[in-house]
Amino acid sequence: MQRRLGLGAAVAAAAGEAIGVGIFLTPAEMARQLGSPFWLLLVWLLMGAMAVTGALCFGGLAAYFPEAGGTYVYLREAFGARTAFLYGWMQLLVVDPGVTASLAAGLAAYAAVAARLTPLEQKGLGVAAIAGLAAANIRGARLGAAFLESLTWLKIGALALLPAWAIALRLGSWSHFIPFMARRAASPPLSPALAASAMAAFYSFGGWWEAAKIAGEVRDPERVMPRALTLGVAAVTLVYILVSGAFLYLVPIGGIEPGLTFMAQAGERLFGVAGSGVMVALVGLCVLGSLAALVMLSPRVYFAMARDGLFFHQVAQVHPRFRTPARAIAVQAGLASLLVALGTFEEIVAYFIFAAVCFLGLTVAGIFRARRQETGARMPLRVPGYPFTPLAFLALVAGLLALLALHDPLQALCGAGVVLLGIPAFRLARQAQ
């Protein structure tokens, strides 16, 4: 594959993957749980700090290992092929196709609100969205990246417009922020509220690390990737704080309704009777941007696995004309389309959140091993603020893992168990080489 992508594409990959439907649903539930603008801001800042420290770590890894594959490559170099295979096994069979299917089905569901589609037509639209994005990325990395950039900046601009529109037209009230620190009456206990809000905020930030998977196609990755990941995460943090503030300006905490009802509330305050339709269109734009990022980034893992002899070797072949991992893209699109047709994926993906966060922490922990193994024959692995930056990220990951395990221990154990079933699959892959 050729290095054709620049800083803009890499920033769009980091921000575009993260900003999805969560920004419309998460702030309302967080505000209801926390009962205070101060605590809401604090949780967003903490999760933003976690994401920034993680972005600095992944940026350093992407500069040190500028290959396609991201987390898979970093785990392979730090802990060996088996650990990397287990990560790829989880991503290939469950997480990537499942999340892709979930986004495609969600996009079709929002489109159905306006077009009144039947369930069968919704599934057809979801499959068509996956196929269209896959075709664009097979046609060329720059084409897929250009589409992703356009969607990302469009949705960031649209989200930034929400607070500006609300304040300029005085559609809300600053009194909704008073009292700023004191929690509202009838708010649930603070500790479980903080735990639930931290998990929700993490899910809303999720995916920024996927941008590292295109390091093998970025020009000057040693300089571009650290900047791209940090800028992308900073943009996501700023957008989430501004949009959450705009929602509180429009609707007081005591008047927030749960779930999609709140989105209709905010839309009506912003745009009148047409508000629900406008908000649905904006949500659809954000979901499409996340879907475009996922279709572009995920296949790089399967490509890297096949290149290492841990998956069908044909998947490592690059398209002779377009110089893209066409077969890896087709694998992901095919699996995701099958899940859309079957309609069962969201509950399955939920079982692997704990394992996915474990691999995230293990990847950053690999920085310490990689630095010990440095020979001086290449540039050192640089992470700003080392060792405190990776240690801070790992501390936050450990806290999140504890929350996930306490929230649903059976789900965490089941997901980890299925990942470990990849060990015999790894042995078979080794024997087949």
Scored b (16 or more CB within 10 A) or e, 134-157 reads bbbbbebbbebbbbbbebbbebbe
Query: Do 214 and 6 form a contact (C-beta atoms < 8 A)?
Result: no
Reading the block at residue 47, the tokens are 């999760």
Q: Is residue 76 part of a domain?
A: yes
pLDDT at 2: 76
378 lies in some domain: no
Is residue 383 included in any domain, yes or no? no
Phi-psi bin for 248: left (phi > 0), alpha (psi -120 to 50), beta? Answer: alpha
pLDDT digits (tens, 9 = 90+) for 126-149: 999 999 999 999 998 888 888 888
pLDDT in the model for residue 379: 66
Query: Phi/psi zone of residue 70: left (φ > 0), alpha (ψ -120 to 50 degrees), beta?
Result: left
Q: Is 385 domain-assigned?
A: no
Report pLDDT for 396: 86
368 domain-assigned: no
Asked, as a colleague might, if the bond just before 387 is cis with ω within 30 of 0, I would say: yes
Tokens read off for 328:
């890896």
How many domains does the chain divide into? Answer: 1
Residue 372 located in a structural domain: no
Could you give the CA distance from residue 203 to residue 432 in angstroms, rounded to a whole number? 37
Is the residue at 77 inside a domain?
yes
Cβ distance 20 to 151 under 8 Å? no
Mean pLDDT, the chain, rounded, equals 87
Check pLDDT > 70 for residue 73. Answer: yes
- Position 330 in a domain: yes
Q: Which domain holds residue 277?
A: 7-359+403-432
CATH label of the domain that carries residue 16: 1.20.1740.10
CA dist., res. 270 & res. 276, Å (int): 10
Band of pLDDT at residue 425, cut at 50, 70 and 90: confident
| Single pTM value for the model | 0.87
pLDDT digits (tens, 9 = 90+) for 283-305: 888 889 889 988 999 999 999 99
Residue 229 pLDDT exceeds 70: yes
- Distance of alpha carbon 345 from alpha carbon 32, whole angstroms: 28
Query: Measured between alpha carbons, how far is 81 from 426 in angstroms, rounded to an integer?
Result: 9
Residue 375 has pLDDT above 70, yes or no: no
Helix ranges restricted to H, 65-140: 71-79, 81-90, 96-115, 119-139
Work out the pLDDT band at 433, boundaries 50, 70, 90.
Answer: low
